Structure 1
Amino acid sequence: MNEVLTKVNKILPQLPYLPQTFRLVWKAAGNWTIASAVLLLLLGVLPAVQVYLLSGLVNGFPVLMGAGIHSSQFYQSWQAIALLLGIWLLTRILNNLSFWIRMMQAELTQDYISELIHTQAIALDLAFFETPDYYDRLHRATLEARTQPIALLENISELARNGMTMLSMICLLFSLQPLIANDCVRNVCS
């Protein structure tokens, strides 16, 4: 919970820049942004799917212990274990794919921002380049413009993914044990 609050406190001052950042990233890497959003949704829901499958496996374990190796419950349990391992493997693959897509997004956005800065610098009078104050501003803009939009997007994406996971876990709790879910929601909200 403290980790989430720390991230929220880190993101709050950056919220006014969010629409401009999304427009900038969309212009630079629109298709990669769509792919990143789809992966974000999938990676937010998959932990709840894993918990659901694991709960079914745990609930069926006593029946399995009394059934024996040649029973249909034994084979169903192995199918559930294989499915759980498949979901786990899919999560790992999607995590790696998400990392790769974010890197592509970052590269394209950095290139786009550098192009915007160079275009603006070319349009200026040469006298601007002779003053140290302007040169310092240009240098800071070049350095910060490459990292700040991507850092903001990373923070918002991580917060959205964690929020999606929390929401899917709450929905799973409500479906499995409504009384426990009510207590959990009451404790989180208070």
Structure 2
Amino acid sequence: MDFFITCLPVLAPTVMVLGFYGLIRCIGRIRRLIFPTLSVRFPASAQPLTVDIPKPGRYVINVVIPPMTFLTGVAHFSARFQVVALPSGASLNYRSYGRSLLHVFQVDRTDMSGRKSMPLGAFDCTVPGEIAITCLNPESIRANYALEVSPHVPQLRFFALVLLTITSAGMTIGGFVLSILTWSGNI
């Protein structure tokens, strides 16, 4: 116990600085989740939309619900999409989440203006390039809703990021309080 008390003047500021560094990193990553680098919004129409995919990976098609919408409805879960790689015309496998348990385990996003992005389905893009997305039944999406293509956010990574943010905040605050108590001579 005496060893801990003798190391506290050095340990507490170190924990505070490490926690602050981790908190800054976590906030940056959360910002990238809320505002992804690729986020293309478009209205629901039968016209195909061309999107340039910068890197391979899993991408989701979201419905973007405007702020202050209390009754969202469920018709948008029945929207169907066709995703085609350009210029080859090869069809990419689009998997609809629907209202099944798959949707429960997806990450919804809300931006700073209150717009909520709910994933409708996902597709895997194996090579970067242009793709064409066509909504096969645009009437299932309300007129004031929009659609969005963005990178997939794995649930495990999201929850780990939340836990790391809480831990970093605790380290920062705890290290600061212990530093003040140590420097004031109360410990």
TM-score by shorter chain over 0.5: no
TM-score of the aligned structures, taking structure 1 as reference length = 0.28
Bigger helix fraction:
1
TM-score of the aligned structures, taking structure 2 as reference length = 0.28
Bigger strand fraction:
2
